[in-house]
A and B are shown apart, each in its own frame.
Chain A
């Protein structure tokens, strides 16, 4: 009983510590992560924009998987519609 109470207390303390560590930087970390992902999107779709990509054999396979993020990405990059003629989005 007592051990359980202590365990519960410890779990709560560590939850508090986690919140305390993460809360103030959530936004900045999320932004940094998104920037990295945007760069990755650019790699994957680079051939369509005429940028040669030595890994296109592999990134081509990724295109369908990233399709769901594609819409958000082109909006974030300031393009109202898909920038590619052969690759319509909205």
Chain B
């Protein structure tokens, strides 16, 4: 099949989902009201609560939720063939992610823009709220460990990207100073910044850099992971305007440029998909498609992380309640389109089926490296890019995404430690530096604990990360469903995805648990067990809450 057809089918399907399904959900289920006074107006303070133009808000929402995860997930999951990954991304975006994201904004908007975590306490119960905090901590922990492993892999596989990746950080630092001190206006600075970044990317292949294979007994992979965490720890302690803000801005611009380039190149060259539609010949050790597909692709189909962004910041800036449809649902479509681009890159970006099979020789292979090499081939054929430059460009895009998520993740983990410090009255833990050390330490433990001293095992926890992320989404869906039941509105729109998610995650956790047990991997076994307990807990909580409400509703109607 031709990639253009797949691209049109996917984008067309998601667009129809926006036009019809999201309209139905927004009008009939959430009943978004243009006259509702949103928290952005009610509590307007010029700082947290600011009514914001819906296109600007969409830009933020989309760029904060899009990261490396919607690339890594599909790039691993095509091992079962492109049809399952494609269908889950498209239908997941239409019926799961869009409803979940828009619903999280709506739920928060109707509750004084409070975060989903706080809402869980009010709407569902106190027990669920503590559970929520634990699940968030686990998600952050895993995301940091996985992304550090993924970045170090990229830096080793594509040494041409080392200079532009670290150079981009200096570009961001300089841009930050220019804007903060108002030396130049933003438009000029953005153009100069983008030129500087792409100049570094073009120069990258001229100056490849690689670490020596071992430094003080540590492999190059392990050294990169340590350097990355050192960087992330420093970045998470700097004032946000210095590095985080300008870098997010550049990343956002890069994301749009990258998507346009990839889709443009596909349209021009029209590559054929070389990977099988359904892979009947999966390598030994590949787990069964059901349920693992649904946790391998989390972001891009549905992701709990979106609920945190939607309820934490987006809902505070919503100008009109009806904007929730565009911002939330279309934001999910933006993420889905990034996953679709990834699927095309990793299935059409190889010359022959044998090449593809050589990359996907066992489960967990491929990943972001396959995205970079496949995408680079498509860019070369479609737009005539030099392969080295195209590879550097895509690597920089992926690394910057993952890097941003890492230091934001560390910052959030630090806040959680600080909060625990104040709850349990541990004074030293309330300070920023020791709390950051604890956060970094726990991530390193996971990155190295999962895969031995070379730190290569971080990606082994990818499906486990997926399950935890889906659990978070499940909690958000539970909050929305509970609200819908209380309002006596139809609840199947969120209840069916919730049930599906819980069944698939619990099923996947049990299968993985068995795998870790057989491999005698006690570290991951206990982690899996922890997540499994949380998952069953959420399922019970959901059952009892909904049952209670059903009874209450039945009594009140008599």
A-side interface residues toward B, CB under 8 Å? 10, 13-14, 16-21, 23-30, 32
The contact sample of 15 A-B pairs, CB cut-off 8 A, is A10-B187, A14-B186, A17-B186, A17-B187, A19-B56, A20-B56, A20-B249, A21-B186, A21-B245, A24-B64, A26-B46, A26-B48, A28-B240, A28-B241, A32-B240
- Whether the Cβ atoms of B240 and A20 lie closer than 8 Å is no
Minimum CB–CB distance for A31 against chain B, Å: 8
Q: Which residue of B lies closest to A32 (CB)?
A: B239
User: Once A and B bind, how many residue pairs between them come within 8 Å at the CB atom?
Assistant: 54
Q: B554 near A: Cβ within 8 Å?
A: no
Known: A23-B50, A26-B48, A32-B239. A16 touches B249 (CB 8 A): no
- B52 partner, pick from A17, A21, A23, beta carbons under 8 A: A23
- Contact flags (1/0) for B177-188 with A, using CB distance below 8 Å? 001000001110
Instruction: Given A14-B186, A17-B186, A23-B317, verify A29-B240 contact (CB < 8 Å).
Output: yes
List the B side residues contacting A19 at CB < 8 Å: 52-53, 56
* Any A CB within 8 A of the CB of B381: no
- New contact pairs (5) apart from A20-B60, A20-B249, A23-B60, CB-CB < 8 Å: A16-B53, A16-B55, A20-B59, A28-B240, A32-B240
Among residues 198 to 225 in chain B, which have CB atoms less than 8 Å away from a CB atom of chain A?
none
B454 in the interface (beta carbon within 8 A)? no
A38 to chain B, nearest CB (A): 15
* B410 → chain A closest CB, angstroms: 15
Distance of A83 Cα from B77 Cα, bound (Å): 63
Give which listed residue, A13, A21, A26, A28, contacts B249 with CB less than 8 A. A21
The reply to whether the CB of B357 lies closer than 8 angstroms to some CB of chain A is no
Q: Is the CB–CB distance between B56 and A16 below 8 Å?
A: yes
| A26 CB contacts on chain B under 8 angstroms | 46-48, 50
User: Chain A CB within 10 Å — which of B64, B185, B249 has the most?
Assistant: B249
Given A20-B56, A26-B47, is A14 in contact with B185 using a C-beta cutoff of 8 Å? yes
Q: How long is the Cα–Cα vector from A20 to B190 in the complex, in angstroms?
A: 12
A29 near B241: Cβ-Cβ < 8 Å: yes
Q: Please tell me if the beta carbons of B56 and A23 are within 8 angstroms of each other in the complex.
A: yes
Residues of B near A20 (CB, < 8 A) are: 56, 59-60, 249, 252
Chain A, Cβ-Cβ closest to B241: A29
B226-261 near A? 1/0 per residue, CB < 8 Å: 000000000000011100110011001000000000
A35 to chain B, nearest CB (A): 10
CB distance from A23 to the nearest CB of B (A): 6
B313 contacts chain A at the CB level, 8 A cutoff: yes
The 4 residue pairs across chains A and B that have the minimum distance between CB atoms? A28-B240, A30-B47, A19-B56, A25-B245
Q: Closest CB-CB distance, A20 to chain B, in whole Å?
A: 5
Q: In the bound complex, what is the Cα–Cα distance between A24 and B48 (angstroms)?
A: 9
* Contact with B47, one of A14, A17, A27 (Cβ below 8 angstroms): A27
Pick the contact of A24: B55, B179, B185, B248 (CB < 8 A): B248
> In the complex, what's the smallest C-beta–C-beta distance from A25 to chain B, in angstroms?
5
- Rounded to whole Å, the gap between the CB of A78 and the closest CB of chain B is 14
Nearest A residue to B248 via CB reads A24
Q: How far is the CA of A24 from the CA of B187 in the complex (A)?
A: 18
With a cutoff of 8 Å between Cβ atoms, the chain B residues found around residue A13 in the complex are 187
Partner of B186 from A10, A18, A27 at Cβ < 8 Å: A18
A24 proximity list for chain B (CB < 8 A): 60, 64, 245, 248, 313
Question: Looking across the interface, which residue of chain B has its beta carbon closest to that of A29?
Answer: B241
Which residues of A sit under 8 angstroms from B239, Cβ to Cβ? 32
CA distance A18 to B186 in the complex (A): 7
Assess whether B190 is in contact with A17, with CB atoms less than 8 Å apart.
yes
| Chain B residues with CB below 8 A from A18, complex form | 186
What is the CA–CA distance of A2 and B53 in the complex, to the nearest angstrom?
26
Give every chain B residue within 8 A of A25 (Cβ-Cβ). Answer: 240-241, 244-245
Contact residues of B between 36 and 62, Cβ < 8 Å to A:
46-48, 50, 52-53, 55-57, 59-60
Q: Which B residue sits closest to A30, measured CB to CB?
A: B47
A28 to B244 alpha-carbon distance, docked (Å): 11
Q: How far apart are the CA atoms of A20 and B240 in the complex, in Å? A: 15
Give the distance to chain A from B237, nearest Cβ to Cβ, in Å.
Answer: 12
Q: How far is the CA of A17 from the CA of B57 in the complex (A)?
A: 12
Kindly state the separation between the CA atoms of A16 and B56 in the bound complex, as whole angstroms: 7
Complex formed: what's the CA distance from A18 to B245 in Å? 12
Assess whether A32 is in contact with B64, with CB atoms less than 8 Å apart. no
Bound complex: CA A30 to CA B20 (Å)? 41
In angstroms, Cα B190 to Cα A10, docked, is 14
Docked pose: A27 CA to B47 CA in angstroms: 5
Residue in A closest to B46 when the chains form the complex, CB atoms: A26
CA distance A23 to B48 in the complex (A): 9
CA distance A20 to B54 in the complex (A): 11
B249 A27 Cβ-Cβ under 8 A: no
